[in-house]
């Protein structure tokens, strides 16, 4: 229906319209074009490279000239439980895919409304985008393709390269596994923030600047054991 009405409005611009009617018609065309683009279905797969559809950007990441990679396709959309006001743009936003972007050389994941995004072939990427796409593909393989390490209490661990997603611990900082458990997806943080519904399944002890033990929850897939020969 939207496409048919859009064509009719475009045809009407060829008629003799007064200035006000022409402006209103052009405004209607603009918003209908976005509607048609939004409702155009895209089939996503894990590993696809994605960018915003034109005029669909609604977050600070990825930037308009940046590329992301699909890390999960949901069977049905989920919603941000922290968005409780219908006056906010992201209220009841149907989050249907999870993507990762490169931010400060870190692999960061976000849940997104897939209707706002489209896939893009590697061959169509710019040189800078290809470098980012290669990085994202490598990180995705580290996160999902490599067999996950089986950690146990007392193991000394550190971030995998490119997997650091929080302020602490630092890269190459040795930490200790305090506890492992089945993955738990927290809604404590909103969908616009990294860490929303991250599958935390491990508690890791980290020494702060004063030498005190601080304990945080993490996704164990982002960590690797430190060989005993490298223990400090």
Q: What is the DSSP string of 73-110?
A: EEEEEE--TT---TTSTTTT--EEEEEEEESSS-EEEE
Percent of the chain with pLDDT over 70: 95
User: For the residues of 152-202, what is the DSSP string, one character each?
Assistant: -TT-EEEEPTT---SSSSPTT--EEEEEEEEEEE--SS-TTSTTTT-EEEE
* Mean pLDDT within 191-208: 87
Task: Give 178's pLDDT tier (boundaries 50, 70, 90).
Answer: very high
189 belongs to a structural domain: yes
The answer to whether the beta carbons of residues 220 and 155 sit under 8 Å apart is no
Question: In the predicted model, what is the mean pLDDT of residues 157-170?
Answer: 89
Q: What is the pLDDT of residue 146?
A: 63
What 3-state DSSP class applies to 214? strand
Listed residues 91, 114, 145: the one ending a domain: 145
**38 pLDDT tier (thresholds 50, 70, 90):** very high
The total number of structural domains in the chain stands at 3
Identify the domain boundary among 82, 117, 145.
Answer: 145
Q: Give the pLDDT band of residue 2 (cuts 50, 70, 90).
A: low
Residue 107 included in any domain: yes
User: Quick one: 70 and 140 in the same domain?
Assistant: yes
Cα→Cα distances 151→18, 86, 94, 104, 232, Å: 72, 43, 35, 28, 19
Question: Per-residue pLDDT averaged across 146-170, rounded?
Answer: 87
Phi-psi region of 200 (alpha: psi -120 to 50; beta: other; left: phi over 0): beta
187 shares a domain with 210: yes
Q: Report how far residue 78's alpha carbon sits from residue 193's, in angstroms, rounded to the nearest whole number.
A: 15
- The mean per-residue pLDDT over the stretch 89-106 comes to 90
Average of per-residue pLDDT values in the chain: 89
The pTM score is 0.86
Same domain, 141 and 55: yes
Looking at residue 82, what is its pLDDT?
82
Residue 78 has pLDDT above 80, yes or no: yes
Mean pLDDT over 102-106 rounds to 86
Identify whether 192 is part of a domain. yes
How distant, in Å, are the alpha carbons of 37, 183, 232 from that of 227?
A: 51, 25, 10
Q: What's the rounded mean pLDDT across residues 126-149?
A: 87
Grouping H, G, I as helix, E, B as strand and the rest as coil, residue 120 is coil
* DSSP letter assigned to residue 53: P
Q: Which domain holds residue 76?
A: 49-145
Q: Is the pLDDT of residue 106 over 90?
A: no
**Quick one: average pLDDT of 31-43?**
93
Report CA torsion sign: 41, 43, 44, 49: negative
> What are the C-alpha distances in Å from 17 to residues 13, 32, 201?
7, 19, 63
Read off the pLDDT of each residue in 118-137 and give the average, rounded to a whole number.
95
- H or E stretch at 232: none
Helix (H) or strand (E) holding 10: helix 2-12
Query: Is there a single domain that holds both residue 73 and residue 130?
Result: yes
Confidence of residue 75 (pLDDT cuts 50, 70, 90): very high
Give the per-residue pLDDT at 232. 61
The token pair at 203 is: 């508690």
Can you read off the two tokens belonging to residue 106? 């870190």
Task: For residue 150, tell me if it sits in a domain.
Answer: no
């Amino acid at each position: 229906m939207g496409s048919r009405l859009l064509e009719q409005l475009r045809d009407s611009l060829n008629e003799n319209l007064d200035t006000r009617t022409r402006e209103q018609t052009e405004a209607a065309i603009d918003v209908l074009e976005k509607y048609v683009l939004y409702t155009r279905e895209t089939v996503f797969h894990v590993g696809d490279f994605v960018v915003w559809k034109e005029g669909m950007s609604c977050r600070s990441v990825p930037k308009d000239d940046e590329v992301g990679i699909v890390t999960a396709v949901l069977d049905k959309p989920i919603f941000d439980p922290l968005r409780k006001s219908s006056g906010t743009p992201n209220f009841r936003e149907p989050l249907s895919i999870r993507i990762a972007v490169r931010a400060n050389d870190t692999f960061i994941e976000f849940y997104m409304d897939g209707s706002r995004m489209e896939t893009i072939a590697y061959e169509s990427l710019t040189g800078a985008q290809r470098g980012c796409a290669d990085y994202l593909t490598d990180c995705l393989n580290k996160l999902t393709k490599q067999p996950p390490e089986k950690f146990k209490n007392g193991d000394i661990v550190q971030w995998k390269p490119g997997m650091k997603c929080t302020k602490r611990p630092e890269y190459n900082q040795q930490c200790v596994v305090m506890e492992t458990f089945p993955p738990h997806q927290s809604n404590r943080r909103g969908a616009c923030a990294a860490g929303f519904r991250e599958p935390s399944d491990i508690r890791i002890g980290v020494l702060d600047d004063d030498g005190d033990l601080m304990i945080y929850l993490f996704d164990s897939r982002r960590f690797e054991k430190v060989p005993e020969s490298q223990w400090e």
